[in-house]
Amino acid sequence: MNLIKKVLCVAALLPALALRGADAGKVLDLLDLSRSGLEKVAELHKQGQDSLASSALLDYFKGRTGVKSVGVNPEKPKLTKEERRWADEGLEHKFFVHKGYQPSYFYGDDINWQYWPVKDNELRWQLHRTKWWVPMGKAYRVTGDEKYAREWVLQYRDWIKKNPLTEFKGIKDKDMEEVDNVYFAWRPLEVCDRLEHQIEQFELFLPSAEFTPEFLIDFLDNYHRHATFANSHYSAQGNHLLFEAQRVIFAGSFFPEFKDAASWRKAGVDILNREIKKQVFPDGVQFELDPGYHMACVNIFGKALQMMDANGYRGEFPQSYLDTMKNMVEFTYNIAFPDFTLPVFSDNKLHTKHGVQGNYRIWRKFFPKDQALRYFATDGKKGKLPEYTSRAFTNGGFYVMRNGWDSTATVMVLKAGPAGEWHNQYDNGTFEMWTNGRNFFPDSGSFIYGGDEEVLKQRNWFRQTAVHNTLTLYDKNLQTRESKLLKWEATPQGDVAVVETPGYDGLTHRRAVFFVDKKFYVIADEAYGDAEGDVALHYQLLPCDPLENTVKKSVSTAFADGNNITLRVFGADKMEAEEGWMSPAYRVKKARPAYAFRSAKKAGKPSRFITVIYPTDAANPANHDIKAAYKGKYSPTSATLEVIVDGKKYPLSYTL
């Protein structure tokens, strides 16, 4: 924004603000002025000198000791290059709202908080997380330039003015574009996001001359309105509820001066204690079955604990709370591949080593005795690896079949659990498989969340059963998503997992995965029941230029570095190429090879397939001679098969 426009903008704002600034007397009444350090404020307020009381209150906050936050260190903030850009663009009203929408949009010299350039709900909601304000605070501290503080104060007040908390009557039968702004600005998740991050902004900008006594009153008035609203509008369930409770705890811990602070802390602690039992299965898997949100939930539980601890309100967190967190941590490093990435199941994104290991380092503070966590957090410099390799998480339905933990390992994470909650997809029976530094079967991911018809259409493509490595009837989505574990055996010689999903009316999919000699995978799929018609096994490779053989029903990768796999399916009538995409990040997608192996199922007769996935360093991966067949007819309680690779026989079987 040029200087003239900025002056006009400021001038336009000032009269309005003078009229609508918060009433200092009312705000002071929200505080417990009998607290130590607030004597002067109390006295002035009693005398009706609220302007002077506000100044005294600002002095109190500037000199306040004993209250700690657990976010940014205001004295030594780290400002990354990217954050500096967000801060500087924030000055120009190019607001960083979402990484999926870059470059950032311009919201007008006179900010239009209702601007919605793409009808993706996230873009509208997340504007109200004002993610550029903490970077502006850091930039202020790092550079000492008051322009950041000046602009923050302007934008903060502009937000209050243009996003009042009005009554919201719901979105029923309305086009999203017709929905009242309050629905977006005051969604509880956004309100609570602001509760957490405005603590950081408060600390970062507090020394500025722009942070006047009058602004302090506006800030506290707004903050109290937020906390009160949040504490009476919790989401019904899921990670939103956890985020909200943690942030209400933050409000009650960082501003103990509010009369309501103790009740905020208690409400938040009660919710987290209740929800950790409800949302986390006994095996440590968060019930949305999404590795990204799973990590976020560990962080929520951990942050709440840290904030309470730091301020002397450990509260009523029982030992079982920490025990559950520990199970959640173990689940995370078990499903992680040796490069620290996690499967992009459900709505997960591809996390970097930096991000995942950063979490491990934080979690070590809670579990200093976990030697495996220590090992992963320090790149093996300290601690030690788990004594096991494969491991089943039977409540969440994740089965990890691995032969090691280092970059030469081969790892499959099979997913076949309960219906789960919102972020979970229609993917029972699917897997990711990683070997020698390469993920050969990355999940399709999620690409985008909710929005208008066009946005939802894109989201739904990625959620389909048929774009996972599993079996469908007529390529339709699973009707039920309640998989059962029938057998799990993990030994140093090899593993077997047998899971079953009664996914469609009249069709149950039984999938047995053998990790043969801990070297390669054999998948025995049997689809049984009264249903008839098109049954298909789907496989999605990583983006590559593969070698296909539709006669042999085989596909092989052909990477020049010699790290490849060959896949061959037995029991299908035909092999067809399908549309394939994988999305590692929001609104990012890459084309990739995908295939269906189809069979016409007859009523009452099972369709039976065997898939061999063979990691290889052969010059031509497609040259491996692979054969496989079931021995005997379908049995509801057992299966016997024989697989031959390059002349070597591998008899495989299971009995239930």
Within 8 A by CB and 6+ apart from 453, the residues are none
Q: What is the CA radius of gyration of the chain?
A: 28
Kindly identify the residues of this chain, within the stretch 438-467, that bind Mg ion according to CB under 5 A. 443-444
State the nearest-atom distance from the C-beta of 425 to Mg ion, in Å.
5
d(CA 384, CA 374): 7
Beta carbon nearer to Mg ion, 135 or 397: 397
Site size for Mg ion (CB under 5 A): 4
CB neighbourhood size of 474 (10 A): 12
Q: Quick one: 244 or 427, whose CB is closer to Mg ion?
A: 427
Asked if 425 is part of the footprint of Mg ion (rule: CB under 5 A), the reply reads yes
Residue 172 exposed, middle or buried by CB count within 10 Å (0-12, 13-18, 19+): exposed
Shortest distance, CB of residue 442 to Mg ion, whole angstroms? 10
Least separation in angstroms between residue 462's CB and Mg ion is 6
Please, which residue, 126 or 444, has the CB nearer to Mg ion?
Answer: 444
Residue placing its CB nearer to Mg ion in the complex, 439 or 444: 444
Task: Tell me what percent of the chain is helix, strand and coil, each rounded to the nearest 5.
Answer: 35, 20, 40
In the stretch 372-411, what mask flags binding to Mg ion with x, by CB under 5 A?
----------------------------------------
What does the DSSP assignment read for 168-210?
A: ----TT--GGGS-HHHHHT-HHHHHHHHHHHHHHHHHHTTSTT
Cis peptide before 188 (omega within 30 of 0): no
Window of 54-62, 191-199, 427-435, 525-533 that interacts with Mg ion by CB under 5 A: 427-435
Q: Which is nearer to Mg ion, 208 or 425 (CB)?
A: 425
Per-position DSSP letters for 278-347, written without gaps between them: HHB-TTS-BTT--HHHHHHHHHHHHHHHHHHHHTT--TT--HHHHHHHHHHHHHHHHHS-TTS-----TT
How far is it between the farthest Cα atoms of the chain? 96
User: Does residue number 290 form part of the binding site for Mg ion (CB under 5 A)?
Assistant: no
* Closest CB to Mg ion among residues 425, 599: 425
Residues 482-501 that bind Mg ion (CB under 5 A): none
From 293, 333, 375, 521, active-site residue = 293
Inter-residue contact 140 to 208 (CB < 8 Å): yes
DSSP state at residue 37 = T
Q: Closest residue to Mg ion, Cβ-based? A: 443
- Least distance in Å: CB of 509 to Mg ion? 17
Among 184-192, 303-311, 436-444, 584-592, the segment contacting Mg ion (CB under 5 A):
436-444
Active site residue 293: yes
Residue 69 in contact with residue 254, Cβ under 8 Å? Answer: yes
Q: How far is the CB of 343 from Mg ion (least distance, A)?
A: 9
Among the candidate windows 46-54, 422-430, 448-456, 473-481, which touches Mg ion by CB under 5 A? 422-430
Stretch that binds Mg ion, among 34-42, 185-193, 335-343, 418-426 (CB under 5 A): 418-426
- Cα atoms found within 13 Å of the Cα of residue 166, Cβ hemisphere only: 12
Min CB(474)–Mg ion separation in Å: 20
**Catalytic residue numbers, as ranges:** 293
The site for Mg ion (CB under 5 A) is made up of 425, 427, 443-444
